[in-house]
Amino acid sequence: MTTHRNTRRLQLAAAVTVASALLLAGCGGSSDERGPAGTAATGPATPSASATPTEEPTSTDVLDDNEVTGAEDLGTTPQEDVFSVESPWNTLINDAQVAPDSELLLENSKFRTLIGFNGETETQEVTEGVYINTREWTTPVVADGVPTVVTCRQEKCGDGGDDITLDIPTNINPNPLYDGWFTVFDPDAGIAYDLWRARREDDGTISYHFMRTWDLNGRGYSEPYVVSARGSGLPLFGGLIRPGELERCQINHALAISVPGPAANFFIQPASSTDGNNNDDNSLPEGARIRLRGDFDVVDPIDPVTGRALPFNADRRKHADCIVTALREYGAIVVDRAAVPTLYFQQLPPEEGRRPLLNGYELNSLGLEDFVVVDFNDETRYPYPPEDETVDPTLLDFGGDDTPTTTTDTTLDDQAEGDS
């Protein structure tokens, strides 16, 4: 209430390259050291951090099947059905026409442009399979709770500005280490608030640097060149895998996906901006929709370093199959860039004794070559940065004193330290 993520092996050498390189791309909603994605292509930036784990999960991740799972005892669950029935997030594409250059677009999107510590530009091919972010670089979605003051820490705040009060649970906080992504639903008003660089203050309030509001009954995207907390200008919660729908095996919407090398020079709607890092105009643009091929079957996940099987019980297989079904029927929309192809599961608060619904590696046998690109009209390509001088510059500017800076990508070694 208002008073406001075919088995393939990881190449270890590539991991070393990632650890010693910085991404060359426009600013994206992916690092706590940058402005909202799509604000301006002014310097190097970091992709959404995600990677295949290099260690087996700890024993706490492999609890007895009789123990509690992820979606229970979380209090009020924010609504899962968002946006209008005509929104691209909610339309089936199992019969949609395939782009004639689909294979080329997907192949090129595996290539990331990097700047090494020697200052030289290099290109890296990413061959890892899909990872599902569950804790790092994904957003919590909250509703209900206690009245909480939400305040902006700078002058230009996107859709924010004046202090507002939203109902927010006290046990769920934004994580400043991962862009401080935080999504608050106001079901009574039908509004969602995406926050960037949010954090919980000592006095219990939540502060942020940028806010974008979304009509929960609207189309789920903005006009071209309007930025948001995410690289493509799309909602943080758009295409998020929600715990309840996963447990019911009813994911009736397109998923959000990030790829290593989305196009840097243009985007297509529903994206309204881009933080792409691939200067090849034949790379997959942000906003593109991809669909899983019908001949893909889930393969038991394998640790890419040790070659050993990863824990994969009947529940995990069921959940993987549910996600695969959604990718066949609704597909995924390219929303950002990431170290490996990445899907997103709603971040849940940690709770002792609760077995996670997903570990993140369930679909590591799935690669970009297992998808096709839904056809799009070249006339819908929007150049980035914009060529039209009549574009309102305030749509591209997040304002404030902070400027985008270069940060290092999360590496596989980093991911081995904990969850993603």
pLDDT tens string 53-96: 333 333 333 333 333 344 444 445 688 999 999 999 999 998 99
Confidence label for 24 from pLDDT (cuts 50, 70 and 90): very low
Lowest mean per-residue pLDDT among 65-79, 368-382, 395-409: 395-409
Q: How many CB atoms lie within 10 A of CB 323?
A: 26
Mean pLDDT along residues 135-147: 94
Tell me: pLDDT of 121 over 60: yes
Contact 131, 393 (CB under 8 A): no
Please state the φ and ψ torsions of residue 186, each to the nearest 5 degrees.
Answer: -110, 90
pLDDT for the residue 44: 30
Angle at 48 (CA atoms; ends 154, 116), nearest 5 degrees: 100
Query: What type of residue is 140?
Result: P
What is the average pLDDT value for the chain, to the nearest integer?
79
Where is pLDDT greater, at 241 or 3?
241
Mean pLDDT along residues 181-203: 97
- As a whole number of angstroms, the longest Cα–Cα distance in the chain is 61
pLDDT for the residue 321: 96
Contact 233, 210 (CB under 8 A): no
Where is pLDDT greater, at 5 or 245?
245
- Where along the chain do its domains lie? 1-420
Q: What are the residues whose beta carbons fall under 8 Å from the beta carbon of 151, sequence distance 6 or more?
A: 163, 205, 206, 207, 208
